Structure 1
Amino acid sequence: RPWLRGLTDQPSDTGRPVADHAEHLVDEWVINEALNRIGEEQRQALTETYLRDRPYADVAAEVGIPVGTLRSRVFYGLKALRAALDEMGVTL
């Protein structure tokens, strides 16, 4: 459909083409779905350190755990996240 092809070339209100915006939304949904499939402690560790870009020391102090424990949760959380993405059929 010619009119549909033209829509994907139109910038959205974010300044990106609609196709890029849609792809971003799908990526965001996939990451959130994968995060929901891992344990709460690992999800929190990844969310705070990777997504919110907070220092390990700050996150560990806030949660009340040693920095080494937080690092362990991040390490195993990344492994679990990769497994969840594989399970969902997502390749990196």
Structure 2
Amino acid sequence: MKRGLLLRALHDGHAAALWRYAVHLTGDEQLAEDVVQEALLRAWRHPDILEQGTSASKAWLYAVARNFAIDERRSARARWEIEFARLPEPARTDRTDRILDARLIADALSQLKPEHRVVIARAYYCGETIAELAAALDVPQGTVKSRLHYGLRALRLALQENGITGP
């Protein structure tokens, strides 16, 4: 418990100034927060530092913060990270592919038996469950499952015949 109180006193007394120092070192507020957190974590791991007194522990904290900031800037992650002032715009999708896919699926669905087509359409496009489909179509749930299975198999074959999917 004593260590927790000492760390709390160290945090309350030095965290804000240490953060400003870290921002000055790194030029990055997010990284400065990481630097302060790491310095305080290392102080927690070294209770002897906490007991040395305010000025000694303050000097130690600043040295740890400086070394950690340098290590972070030298790390491979920092070398390969690319920073942007603003995020790039998301890619705009061309609706043509979606329209063509919908047309191909509609053509394949039209080749199915009506009982298969209705079960697939209501399950996948309307989001109805097996129980809801069974009640709506007045058939057992096992029949709905069977129609879904054989309907999807026939749909896959129809798509393969049209050259849409692999075997």
Q: Which category describes the TM-score, using the shorter chain as reference length?
A: 0.7 to 0.9
Per the alignment, residue 91 of structure 1 pairs with 165
Q: Does 1:53 align with 2:127?
A: yes
Higher RCO (CA-CA < 8 Å; seq separation 6+): 1
CA RMSD of aligned residues (A): 1.4
Which of 44, 59, 64 is matched with 2:138 structurally? 64
The structure where helix makes up a greater share of residues is 2
Q: Count the aligned residue pairs.
A: 76
Q: Does 1:74 align with 2:148?
A: yes
1:59-90 deviation line (CA, Å, top 9, x unaligned): 11111000000000000000000000011110
Per the alignment, residue 42 of structure 1 pairs with 116
List 4+ stretches of structure 1 deviating above 4 A: none
Which amino acid in 2 is paired with 1:90? I
Identity of aligned residues (%): 36
Q: Distance in 1 between matches of 2:114 and 2:138?
A: 15
Q: Distance in 2 between matches of 1:22 and 1:79?
A: 27
Q: Distance in 1 between matches of 2:146 and 2:94?
A: 35
Larger Rg: 2
- Give ranges in structure 2 of 5+ residues lacking alignment: 1-90
TM-score of the two chains, using structure 1 as the length reference = 0.77
Q: Distance in 2 between matches of 1:50 and 1:33?
A: 16
Q: Distance in 2 between matches of 1:74 and 1:40?
A: 12
- Give ranges in structure 1 of 5+ residues lacking alignment: 1-15
